Structure 1
Amino acid sequence: MRRLHNMTQAYDWGSTSDIPRFLGRSATGEPVAEMWLGTHPLAPSQVETPTGLRPLSDLAGDVPFMLKILAAEQPLSIQVHPGPEEAREGYAREQAAGIPLESPQRVYKDPRHKPEMVYALSTFDTLVGFRPTAEILRVFAQLDSPAVNAASATLRAKTGYKGIVRVLENLLIAPPPASEINQLVIQCKALVHDGVDIKRAYSTAAMIARYHPGDVGIVVSLLLNRFTLQPGEAMFLGTGVIHAHLSGLCLEAMANSDNVMRAGLTRKTLDPEGLIQCLEAGMSRVARVEPGYPSFSTEVYSPAVDEFALAVTQVSPADPDGVALISAEHSIVMCIGGGVQLLNAQGEKVPLSRGEAVYTAAEDGDLTLVGTGEIAQIYLPGPHTPDSELRDLLGARPVRQIPLT
C-alpha cells in the first residue's frame, strides 16, 4: 500500500470551496475544479516511498482507470467523449501533426476511449443525451427566433436521433448571433416567470446564460435532458454521449483518458466536426447504476466496462473486526468521509481521513477497513466483480457497438 499525492486542476468552472473543504484545506478564492487520481501523464499521482515521492506509474505501470473528484460551480462545456476507434485515429493524427500534448489546440490527449461513471457526493445536476423529438418540438414551440424556427423545420423533416444530430450540426456550423441568443434567453425567463418550464428546459437555458451570455451552447442545452442525482446515486455515460455537467460535487470513475470534444460553453478549442462524427456513430448507453452488494457494508457500481468498477464501503464500531474490501490487481482507495485505517494481509496499516488515498496492488492481498467512515475504491474488475443493474434513462436510441476489449 502506498499513500498517494494527487494533483488538482484549476479550471474556471470549478468551485472555490467544495474540493478544499473536502480535502480539509483552506480555500484560496481560486477555483478548484478537479483532483485526479491515477497515472494519466497530464496530472499523474505520486506515491510515497522510502526515498521520497515517485510517479505512481513507476510502481504500477499504466493503470487503466482514473478517479476524479469534480466540483462544478458553473456549467462545464457541452462535450462528447470518443469511442476506441475515434480515439486511436485522432491521437495518431495529432501526433503526426506535431501538436504538443499541452497545446490548447490539442483535442486527443491519448489513444484511449473514455467511458465514465458519475457518483454523486452532493446534489448533482447535469445535462445528458438528447430529449425525445416530440419534447424538443414542444420546447421550441414556446419560443420564436430564426434559429429555433429553422431547427424545428429540420426536425419535422427528419425526426428521431439523426434529425436531432442534424439540428445540432447546423447550430455549430452557423451559430446564431449573440443578440438572437440573448432574445431567446429573455423569452425563456419570461416563460419560467409564467410557470412554464418544460422539463426544466427554459430555467436551464437562463441559468447557463448567466455564465456564458450569447453562447450557442445555450440553444444546444434546449436539446438535452436535465437529470439530478442525489448523494449516493450513480450514472454511467458510455462514449458518444453528449453531456454537460452543471453543478455539484461528485466522484468520476473512468477509463484513463482525457479525450474531450467540445461544442460550446468553453474558451477551450472546439471540435464540432469530431463531435458530430462521434454522435453519428450512434450514442452509447446512459443509465442509472443500481449497485450490487457483495456484503452488508459494500456497494459495487460496475457498468460492465473492462477498465473500472467502483466500490463504496462503510465501516463503524459495529464492525469490531473491520470490513473486508475488494481485492484487485490494481486499486485506489480514497476516504470520502470520517476517519479509517486500511490494513493489508501483511499487517501494514495506513490511516486515512477524508480526501486521502492509497494505491494497492495484488501483493497486498486481503484488505480490511477499520474505524468510522466511508471509502470509495476504484479497481480493475474481474470475473467475480458483483453485477450492477443498469437502468436505461433515455429509452431506445441508436447504440454504437463498442467491444469491451
Structure 2
Amino acid sequence: MREIEGVIRPYAWGSRTALAAMQHRPVPSPHPEAELWFGAHPADPARLPGSGTDLLTAIAADPDGELGPQCVDEFGPALPYLVKVLAAEEPLSLQAHPSREQAAEGFARENAAGIDVSASDRNYRDPNHKPEVVVALSRFEALAGFRDPKATVELLRALQVPQLDTYLGLLSGQPDSMGLRALFTTWITLPQPALAALIPAVLAGCRRYLDGPDDTYRGEVELALGLGERYAGDAGVLAVLLLNRLVLEPGEALYMSAGNLHAYVSGVGVEVMANSDNVLRGGLTPKHVDVPELLRVVDFEPRRPEGLQPQVRTVGNELVYLTPAPEFRLSRVILDGTALLRSNVIELDSRGPQLLVVTSGAVTVRDHCGTVVVEAGRGVWMSASDPGVVVTAHSQRAEFFRTLVASH
C-alpha cells in the first residue's frame, strides 16, 4: 500500500475551481484544470511521494509483483486502466472511440504510413480500445448515443427551419440507423459555404423555439444554441441535435462503449477507462477531425438514455458500477465518520492491482505495515503483492472510488 499523487492536466475546457477546491488549494487556480490523472499512463503517471519515482516506473521494474501474473498474462506488463477526476467548465469535443479490432488495425496502418505517434493528425496512438465509465460528483451534463430517430424528426420539425426540410427527408423516410448515418454523414461533410448558411438558420430556429410554449426539447435546444455560439460554422453543432442529452446527478453513471458518439458538456466526475488514448473527433474542437475514419468507427444504432447508464450493485458499503469492460471495475464508497462501525469502515480484499481515489473528506487506510491518512484529491495504490486493507472515515463524511481489474 502506497499513497499516490495524481497529475493535473491543464486543458482549456477545464475548471479553475473544482479540482483546486477538492485538494484545498487556493481558488481560483492560475489556469484551467481539466483532469486529475491517477494511473500509469506514459503521458502523466501518478507520483509516489517520497520515492522520487512514479507508478509507471514502479510497474515496469516489477510487473508481476505490482500487477500480478494473471493481469500480466491477460493485458501485458502495464496497468490496464486509467483513473481520472474530470472537471469540465466547457464542453469537450464530439468524439467516439474505436473497438479493439479497429484500434489494432488503425494503429498498424498509421505506423506503416510513417505517421509519428505524437503527430497532431494521428488518430491511433496505441492498439487498444477505450471503453470508459464516468460517475458524476456534481450535476453532470453529457451528449451520448443517437436519439430515437422519430423523436429527432419531431425536434427538427419543431424548429420550423425551411432549410432543414431536405435533410429531414433523409431521416423521416428511413427512421433507423441507416437514416441516421445518411443524415450525420451529409451534415458532417457539408462544404463550409453550405454550413455558413445552414447553421445560422438552425440557431435562429432554436431561438424561436425557446420563445414559444413548447418545453419538450428545451434543454436540447438551449445546449445546441450555446454550442452554436461557441463553435460558429462547426458541423458538430448540427450533429448534437441527433444525440441524447443526459443530466446525471451525483452518484449516477454513464458508460461509453466503442463507437458511441458523445461529448461531455459540463460537470465534475470520476472517469475510468481502458489505458488508451485513441479518440476520433467529430467536431466542437480545433483539434484534428478525420471524417472518413470517424465514420468507420461510429455506431449509428439508436440508444435509449437509460441503456447508456450501467446497472449498480450494492455490495456492503460499495456501490459497484457494472460494465462489460474486462480492464476495470469501478465502485463508490461513502463512509460516515459520525456513525457506528458498519457505515464508518470497510475492509478491502487484496484483489490487486487496485487504485483508491478520495473525492471528499479524508480516510484512514491501514494494513499490517502501517497507516496512512489520505485526503480528497489524493489516492492509494495497492499492488497485487499487498495484503488487504481496512479503510475508515477520517472526517464526518468521506467518499472514495475503488478501481480494480474486473476480470480478476
Is residue 241–residue 283 contact of structure 1 (8 Å, CA) maintained in 2? no
**Which residue of structure 2 aligns with residue 313 of structure 1?**
333
Rounded Cα–Cα distance in structure 1 between residues aligned with 2:308 and 2:140? 15
Q: C-alpha deviations, 1:198-256, integer Å up to 9, x for none?
A: 43331121121232122211111110110100001112111111111111001111111
Quote the sequence identity (%): 31
Q: Superposition pairs for residues 276-315 of structure 1, below 5 Å?
A: 276-279=295-298, 286-295=307-316, 297-315=317-335
Residue 399 of structure 2 corresponds to residue 374 of structure 1: yes
Query: For the structure 1 residues 161 and 197, does the alpha-carbon distance in structure 2 shift closer, same or farther, using more than 3 Å as the test?
Result: farther
**Given the alignment, which residue of 272, 276, 283 partners 1:264?**
283
Q: Superposition pairs for residues 163-242 of structure 1, below 5 Å?
A: 163-175=179-191, 176-199=194-217, 200-242=219-261
Query: For the structure 1 residues 125 and 326, does the alpha-carbon distance in structure 2 shift closer, same or farther, using more than 3 Å as the test?
Result: farther
**Given the alignment, which residue of 369, 376, 384 partners 1:362?**
384
**Which residue of structure 2 aligns with residue 5 of structure 1?**
5
Deviates more, 1:58-67 or 1:123-132: 58-67
Rounded Cα–Cα distance in structure 1 between residues aligned with 2:402 and 2:347? 12
Rounded Cα–Cα distance in structure 1 between residues aligned with 2:392 and 2:20? 25
- Deviation, 1:304, is 2.6
SS in 2 for 1:107: coil
Q: C-alpha deviations, 1:44-75, integer Å up to 9, x for none?
A: 2232354x223434334410011111111111
**Which residue of structure 2 aligns with residue 32 of structure 1?**
33
TM-score, normalised to structure 2's length?
0.87
Deviates more, 1:132-141 or 1:26-35: 26-35
The amino acid that maps onto 1:291 is V
Is residue 321–residue 329 contact of structure 2 (8 Å, CA) maintained in 1? yes
Query: For the structure 1 residues 359 and 269, does the alpha-carbon distance in structure 2 shift closer, same or farther, using more than 3 Å as the test?
Result: same
Q: C-alpha deviations, 1:371-390, integer Å up to 9, x for none?
A: 2312111111246xxxxxxx
The amino acid that maps onto 2:345 is G
Rounded Cα–Cα distance in structure 1 between residues aligned with 2:206 and 2:277? 34
**Given the alignment, which residue of 101, 119, 125 partners 1:103?**
119
Query: For the structure 1 residues 39 and 229, does the alpha-carbon distance in structure 2 shift closer, same or farther, using more than 3 Å as the test?
Result: same
Is residue 176–residue 302 contact of structure 2 (8 Å, CA) maintained in 1? no
Query: For the structure 1 residues 300 and 92, does the alpha-carbon distance in structure 2 shift closer, same or farther, using more than 3 Å as the test?
Result: same
The amino acid that maps onto 1:168 is F
- Deviation, 1:172, is 1.2
Query: For the structure 1 residues 283 and 380, does the alpha-carbon distance in structure 2 shift closer, same or farther, using more than 3 Å as the test?
Result: farther
Is residue 110–residue 257 contact of structure 1 (8 Å, CA) maintained in 2? yes
SS in 2 for 1:184: helix
SS in 2 for 1:210: helix
The amino acid that maps onto 2:308 is A
Q: C-alpha deviations, 1:83-102, integer Å up to 9, x for none?
A: 01111111112222332333
Rounded Cα–Cα distance in structure 1 between residues aligned with 2:33 and 2:234? 24
Rounded Cα–Cα distance in structure 2 between residues aligned with 1:9 and 1:28? 13
Is residue 261–residue 275 contact of structure 1 (8 Å, CA) maintained in 2? yes
Residue 19 of structure 2 corresponds to residue 19 of structure 1: yes
The amino acid that maps onto 2:47 is Q
Is residue 188–residue 202 contact of structure 1 (8 Å, CA) maintained in 2? yes
Query: For the structure 1 residues 147 and 319, does the alpha-carbon distance in structure 2 shift closer, same or farther, using more than 3 Å as the test?
Result: farther
Q: C-alpha deviations, 1:137-185, integer Å up to 9, x for none?
A: 1112133557622321111333201210121111111153234312311
Rounded Cα–Cα distance in structure 2 between residues aligned with 1:54 and 1:246? 32
Q: Which has the higher helix share?
A: 2
- Deviation, 1:196, is 2.9
SS in 2 for 1:245: strand
State the aligned residue count: 380
**Given the alignment, which residue of 122, 130, 142 partners 1:126?**
142
Rounded Cα–Cα distance in structure 1 between residues aligned with 2:184 and 2:315? 43
**Which residue of structure 2 aligns with residue 336 of structure 1?**
359
Is residue 84–residue 112 contact of structure 1 (8 Å, CA) maintained in 2? yes
Is residue 3–residue 47 contact of structure 1 (8 Å, CA) maintained in 2? yes
Query: For the structure 1 residues 163 and 326, does the alpha-carbon distance in structure 2 shift closer, same or farther, using more than 3 Å as the test?
Result: farther
**Which residue of structure 2 aligns with residue 350 of structure 1?**
372
Is residue 239–residue 283 contact of structure 1 (8 Å, CA) maintained in 2? no
SS in 2 for 1:62: coil
Rounded Cα–Cα distance in structure 2 between residues aligned with 1:75 and 1:35? 17
**Which residue of structure 2 aligns with residue 401 of structure 1?**
none
The amino acid that maps onto 1:248 is G
CA RMSD between the two structures: 2.2
**Which residue of structure 1 aligns with residue 84 of structure 2?**
68
- Deviation, 1:41, is 1.7
SS in 2 for 1:323: strand
**Which residue of structure 1 aligns with residue 262 of structure 2?**
243
Rounded Cα–Cα distance in structure 2 between residues aligned with 1:83 and 1:94? 16
SS in 1 for 2:361: strand
Unpaired runs of 5+ in structure 1? 384-405
The amino acid that maps onto 2:33 is V
